[in-house]
Structure formats: C-alpha cells, structure tokens
Amino acid sequence: MADWVLWLIAAGVLVALEMFTGTFYLLMIGVAMVMAAVAAVLGAAVPLQFATAAIVGIVATLLLRRSRLGRIERKDSRRDPNVNLDIGQEVRVTDWGGLRTTRVMYRGALWDVELEAGVEAGPGRFVIHEVRGNRLIVGRPHGGH
C-alpha cells in the first residue's frame, strides 16, 4: 500500500476519534497527517513525511492552543444558568426586615435570600443571579422594581 494511503487512513481514524472527544487537538494531528500524505504524493522520503507530520502537528496544535477554541473557559457554576436553572428566575420579597437577608417561598419551599452588593433593599421583584448552597443571591430585574 502506498505511503500516502496509510497517512490518509491514519488521518481518517484520528478525525473519527475527534468526534468522540470534543476537542480539536486530534483534528490538528489529523491535518498534520494529511500534510504528510501530500508530502508522500510529492515523492518525499519517509523520514521527510514524518518530519512534515511532526512540524505541522506541532505548529497546528500551538496555533489551536492560542486561539479561542483552544482555551477552556471556566465558568462559576453558581452563576451559570446552563448548570443551575434557578439563575434568572424571579422571586418576590415583601419585607427585608431592615437587613440584607430574608426568607421567601420559592418552588414550594422557604429559601434564604441575600441581596447582591450595591442593590437597595425594598419590597418587590428580584432576579436570582447566583445560588450558594441553599441561599439565593438576588438583584433587581433590568428595568425597574
């Protein structure tokens, strides 16, 4: 079997594995193998094919790492509505009792509620911005009371 065919088969296997991992690093190595296949088609010797795959693989993974796709964004799960469906929901507070914490009925249970820093206490609607254990951290909804 020709060298270029082996490189393309290896690249195809890596691209298929990439579908299961969710990162793009195997894809970059697959691109490197495709470039080695191109070198083989152009008549390069086997050591040069491996050197091509290595250089292209290193450069591609370094470029990926520096790109937006290569960075892992760490989100605080206490504030992420994709993790906690309570984020963005509204609660109604009738009285703060002169404090920055109170208790409200939410989803059929009593919850501790705390005002975010810089938010004025007063009765009305509040939006949940964070959940810390069994405490809801709330702020005013956009556009008023």
Domain ranges of the chain: 3-70, 90-139
Strand, helix or coil for residue 18: helix
The number of residues making up the chain comes to 145
**pTM to 2 decimals?**
0.52
Q: Report how far residue 92's alpha carbon sits from residue 110's, in angstroms, rounded to the nearest whole number.
A: 12
Alpha-carbon distances, residue 92 vs 6, 88, 105, 123, 132 (angstroms): 65, 13, 8, 8, 19
CATH number of 90-139: 2.40.50.140
| pLDDT per residue rounded down to tens, the chain (145 residues) | 889 999 999 999 999 998 888 778 899 999 999 999 999 999 999 999 999 999 999 999 998 888 876 666 667 677 777 778 889 999 999 888 778 899 999 988 899 999 988 888 888 899 999 888 889 999 988 755 5
